[in-house]
C-alpha cells in the first residue's frame, strides 16, 4: 500500500512551489514514499536487513552483529567483552558469534556456565589397559599388581625393584599414590600379565583403595638406581619389565635402549606384549652403566639401525601421544 505525505510549501519571489518532503517523490498531485530497501538491496550490508519506513528506512542486524555509528551497516559484536559470558572458560570472539573454550580434560557446560571435568574413565570406555582413575582435568592409568606407573601411559617392574636392588630417592608421603597390596586388575600367569581378560574402567567416584587400583609411581625424571651381583643376572633375568598402560599404545610401540649400551651388554626383548631388559650375549663386567630407555612408535623403528645413533627421539616418541623416557643406573659387582 502506497504511503502518502503532505506537500511542503516553498515560498519563492512572487509565487510558491509545492515540494515533497525528504524520502517521498511527487506523483501527480501526491507525495509517495520512496522504498529505499527495494531501490538499494545492499543498503544495510551483507549482515543487515532493511526495513522501509515512511520517508526513510531502518537497518536491523543479524544475531551477533550490531549497528555501527552511521546506522546503515552492521559490525561484529564482541560478546567476549562481557566477562561473565563464559564463566570460568576462555572466551574467543568469532564473526557473528563466540566460543567458550575449556582446558584439556574439561568441557563447557552452558547450563552451569563454566568448565566441567570430563570423566575419561566413563565416557566411551576406559582409555587404560589395567584400570582407570578419573582426576580433575585428566585421568590416571593404573598398573597390574607389582608394577609402578612410569609417566602417564607405562608400567614398570622387574628384578630391579626388589628391596635388595632398588635404591629410590626418598618418596614424599602421599597416601593416594601408595600401592595397594591387592591392586590387580589383570593377574600374572607364568610371569606374564594375562591378556584377553575383560578390561574394567573406574567411574572416578569410588575410592582408589576400594577399587584396588595400583597408582604407585616412580619419578622418571631421576635415574633409577639398581645394584646387582653379576652371578644373579642370568640371561633370562628380567632386570626391568615394561608395559604400556594406555590401550592405544598396545602393539604400536617398542621400548629401545638409546644410550649407554654401545658395547651391547644389554638387550630389550618383547614377548606377548611385555618388554623386558636383560643381559645380552656379550657378558657385562663389574662397573656402573647408565642406560636410557625410550618408547618409540613402531613406524620409526626401521629408521633406527642403532638406537644409540638415533636423533630427535623426543619428537618421534612424542607422536605416540604417551612417550616414555627414563634412565637406569646399574651398579654391577
How confident is the model over 125-162, as pLDDT tens digits? 778 888 888 888 888 888 888 888 887 789 998 887 76
What pTM does this model have? Answer: 0.58
| CB-based contact 64:79 (threshold 8 Å) | yes
Cα-based torsion angle of the residue sequence 83, 89, 90, 96 in order, rounded to the nearest 10 degrees: -70
Domains in the chain, start-ordered, CATH in brackets?
Answer: 4-75 (2.10.25.10), 79-117 (2.10.25.10), 144-164+213-300+318-332 (2.60.40.60)
**What gap in Å lies between CA 17 and CA 186, rounded to an integer?**
101
Distance CA 28, CA 266 (A): 106
Mean pLDDT of 295-310: 57
Average pLDDT of the segment spanning 239-245:
90
d(CA 71, CA 36): 14
For residue 202, give the nearest of 133, 136, 255, 155 by alpha carbon. Answer: 133
In percent, how much of the chain has pLDDT > 90?
A: 20
What is the predicted pLDDT for the residue at 156?
92
Contact criterion met (CB below 8 Å) for 16 and 9: yes
| Residues 253-272: tens digit of each pLDDT | 899 999 999 888 999 999 88
Residue whose C-alpha is closest to residue 152's, from 244, 221, 274, 225: 244
Q: How are beta strands 224-228 and 325-332 bridged, if at all?
A: parallel
Residue 51 has pLDDT above 50, yes or no: yes
**The pLDDT of residue 65 is above 90:** yes
Give the per-residue pLDDT at 311: 38
Instruction: Output the pLDDT for position 300.
Output: 59
Instruction: Please write the tens of the pLDDT for every residue from 2-44.
Output: 566 667 777 778 677 788 888 888 877 788 888 889 888 888 9
Q: CB of 154 within 8 A of CB of 222?
A: no
Instruction: Please report the pLDDT score of residue 197 as a whole number.
Output: 32
Residue 4 pLDDT: 63
**Position with higher pLDDT, 6 vs 202:** 6
- Which three cell numbers mark 54? 515512511
Torsional sign, CA 188, 297, 133, 126: negative
Task: For the chain, report the end-to-end CA distance as a whole number of angstroms.
Answer: 106
Mean model confidence pLDDT for the chain: 75
Amino acid at each position: 500500500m502506497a504511503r502518502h505525505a503532505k506537500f511542503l510549501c516553498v515560498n519563492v519571489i512572487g509565487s510558491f512551489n509545492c515540494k515533497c518532503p525528504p524520502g517521498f517523490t511527487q506523483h501527480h498531485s501526491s507525495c509517495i514514499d520512496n522504498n529505499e530497501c527495494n531501490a538499494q538491496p545492499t543498503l544495510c550490508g551483507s549482515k543487515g536487513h532493511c526495513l522501509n519506513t515512511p520517508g526513510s528506512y531502518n537497518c536491523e542486524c543479524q544475531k551477533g552483529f550490531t549497528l555501527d555509528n552511521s546506522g546503515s551497516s552492521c559490525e561484529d559484536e564482541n560478546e567476549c567483552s562481557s566477562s561473565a559470558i563464559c564463566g570460568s572458560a576462555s572466551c574467543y570472539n568469532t564473526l557473528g558469534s563466540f566460543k567458550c573454550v575449556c582446558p584439556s580434560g574439561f568441557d563447557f557446560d552452558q547450563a552451569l556456565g563454566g568448565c566441567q571435568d570430563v570423566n575419561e574413565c566413563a565416557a566411551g570406555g576406559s582409555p587404560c589397559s589395567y584400570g582407570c582413575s578419573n582426576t580433575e582435568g585428566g585421568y590416571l592409568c593404573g598398573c597390574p599388581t607389582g608394577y609402578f606407573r612410569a609417566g602417564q601411559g607405562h608400567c614398570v617392574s622387574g628384578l630391579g625393584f626388589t628391596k635388595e636392588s632398588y635404591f629410590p630417592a626418598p618418596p614424599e608421603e602421599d597416601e593416594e599414590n601408595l600401592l595397594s597390596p591387592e591392586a590387580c586388575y589383570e593377574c600374572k600367569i607364568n610371569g606374564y600379565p594375562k591378556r584377553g581378560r575383560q578390561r574394567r574402567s573406574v567411574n572416578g567416584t569410588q575410592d582408589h583403595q576400594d577399587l584396588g587400583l595400583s597408582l604407585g609411581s616412580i619419578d622418571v625424571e631421576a635415574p633409577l638406581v639398581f645394584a646387582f651381583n653379576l652371578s644373579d643376572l642370568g640371561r633370562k633375568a628380567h632386570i626391568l619389565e615394561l608395559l604400556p598402560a594406555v590401550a592405544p599404545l598396545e602393539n604400536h610401540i617398542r621400548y629401545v635402549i638409546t644410550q649407554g649400551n654401545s658395547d651391547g651388554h644389554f638387550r630389550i626383548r618383547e614377548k606377548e606384549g611385555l618388554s623386558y631388559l636383560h643381559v645380552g650375549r656379550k657378558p657385562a663386567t663389574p662397573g656402573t652403566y647408565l642406560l636410557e630407555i625410550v618408547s618409540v612408535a613402531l613406524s620409526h623403528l626401521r629408521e633406527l639401525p642403532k638406537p644409540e645413533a638415533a636423533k630427535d627421539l623426543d619428537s618421534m616418541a612424542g607422536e605416540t601421544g604417551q612417550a616414555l623416557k627414563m634412565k637406569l643406573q646399574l651398579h654391577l659387582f
